[in-house]
Amino acid sequence: MISRAFSSGFGRASAPVRAGDRADGAVLQQPGHDGLGRHPLLRVRGTALASGTSGGVLGYTGTGTLASSALLTANGVLLGGGAGATPTALGAMTNGQLVIGSTSASPVVAALTQTANQVIVTNAAGSITLSTPQSIATASTPQFLRLGLNQAADSSARMAATGQYFSTNYALSDGATIALDWDNGNVQYVTLAGNRTFTFANPKQGGRYVIFVKQDGTGTRTLTWPTITWSGGSAPVLTTTIDKGDIIALVYINSVYYGSSVANF
């Protein structure tokens, strides 16, 4: 006999009960889980459950009816069965697997699928790492075989674009020697306040560059150029009129600058 009183749920104490007795709200013991080879007898206002599955869980399968689920897989995830069904377990999950929902259907255990050359999935114990084949951070230098801007990439051209593209104008600092670094932009300009010398740095093969040179309020300023192969065979003579300017166009081919000028703007 189990010498324990229990409440019926209405504040009324009941007499001691024995294993096998039928009593609403009682939890009784029969040979099973208490270390003495006893199993529980459970009854809650319905049919008694005399035994269950080791490693399972209890659930209502109907009004007042208890049932034991099947064995829950070690390291599995418990899945609710809904009204009238006991919980079940999804299979044991391996590295990188997730429980993925499905509308009006049971969720499934699955891993993320990577896409070649787009997203790389790396699974580890308790973690999933997503990465790209190359860094695309702001300061990175990713490389692409072909690129389309506002249109599909061309089948042979390295870059195809619909719409204009431009290089921001770069203002040079005036001084006795004026250093033009093409990494600052393909279009650069300066107002001369004296006779000056230009130097060039960081050209690219096939690069096209434009310089706008303007006279100050005094005028008559001159320039000394780096080595350039000029149209007509000689360096242009700058417009020396106050506040007037000239445009110098350069193209860099096989490590040689080729230049021409348009005067008197």
> What is the Cα–Cα distance from 250 to 134, expressed in whole angstroms?
34
DSSP assignments along 24-37, one per residue: TT-EEE-SSSSSSS
| 215: in domain | yes
User: How many angstroms separate the first and last alpha carbons of the chain?
Assistant: 113
CB 196 within 8 A of CB 223: yes
Q: Are residues 126 and 174 in the same domain?
A: no
Chain-centroid distance, C-alpha 183: 30
* Span of 59-73, 113-127, 189-203, 251-265 with lowest mean pLDDT: 59-73
* Span of 5-14, 37-46, 89-98 with lowest mean pLDDT: 5-14
From 111, 131, 151, the end of a domain falls on: 131
Q: Are residues 181 and 231 in the same domain?
A: yes
- The rounded mean pLDDT for the chain is 81
Is pTM, for the whole model, over 0.85? no
**Number of folded domains in the chain?**
2
- The count of other CB atoms within 10 Å of the CB of residue 174 is 14
22: exposed, middle or buried (C-beta count within 10 Å: 0-12, 13-18, 19+)?
exposed
Looking at per-residue confidence, does 25 or 98 come out higher?
Answer: 98
Q: Are residues 126 and 178 in the same domain?
A: no
Structural domain that includes position 258? 170-262
CB 217 within 8 A of CB 192: no
pLDDT at 84: 67
Instruction: Express each pLDDT in 73-129 by its tens digit.
Output: 777 777 777 776 767 777 778 899 888 888 888 888 888 989 888 999 999 988 999
* Contacts for 250 with CB less than 8 Å, ≥ 6 apart: 208, 209, 210, 211, 228, 257, 258, 259
Instruction: Express each pLDDT in 195-237 by its tens digit.
Output: 999 999 999 999 999 999 999 999 999 999 999 999 999 999 9
> What is the Cα–Cα distance from 124 to 49, expressed in whole angstroms?
42
